[in-house]
Amino acid sequence: MHVELAWVEAGRVVLRTVEVPADASVGDALAALGEPLAGTLRTRIDDGRLAVAVYGRPRSMGSRLRDGDRIELVGELVVDPKTARRLRVQQRRDEGADPRWKRR
C-alpha cells in the first residue's frame, strides 16, 4: 500500500510517498524513507520537536495505517492560526491588494 508523509523543512512542506506492506505502522512508513532521513525525523519525534498525526489526528509510532493515509509530522505552532490570518489580512489591506478591503 502507499502512504504519504508530510513535514516542514527549511520553511517548505516536504511530501514523500512510500510503499509499505499491508498492516504497516507509522514507524514502518518512517523507516521506508531510508537513512539518514528516517533517523533524523525519528530523533525529532523522540525529543518532542515533532508530533505524529494521520490526517490531523494525533497518532503513535505503532498506529496502523491504511492505503492512502497521509502521515503528518508536525511541530509546535509559532503563531496561533487566527492571529496569523488576521495579520495577513491586515498586511494586504495596508498594501492595497484588494479595493474591497479598504476601510471606509
The mean pLDDT of 64-93, rounded to a whole number, is: 87
Q: Rg of the chain over CA atoms, in angstroms?
A: 18
Rounded CA separation 56/51 (Å): 10
Domain-wise residue ranges, the chain: 2-76
pLDDT digits (tens, 9 = 90+) for 34-74: 999 999 999 999 998 899 999 989 999 999 999 999 999 99
Strand, coil or helix: 24: coil
- Report whether the peptide linkage leading into residue 36 is cis, meaning its omega lies within 30 degrees of zero: yes
Partners of 57 in the β-ladder: 54
Task: Dihedral sign for Cα 90, 92, 94, 99, please.
Answer: negative
Looking at per-residue confidence, does 86 or 96 come out higher? Answer: 86
Give 5-25 pLDDT, tens digit per residue. Answer: 999 888 789 999 999 999 999
Grid cell in block for residue 69: 493515509
Q: Give domain 2-76's CATH architecture.
A: Roll (3.10)
Query: Residue 77: what pLDDT?
Result: 66
Structure confidence at residue 79 (pLDDT): 72
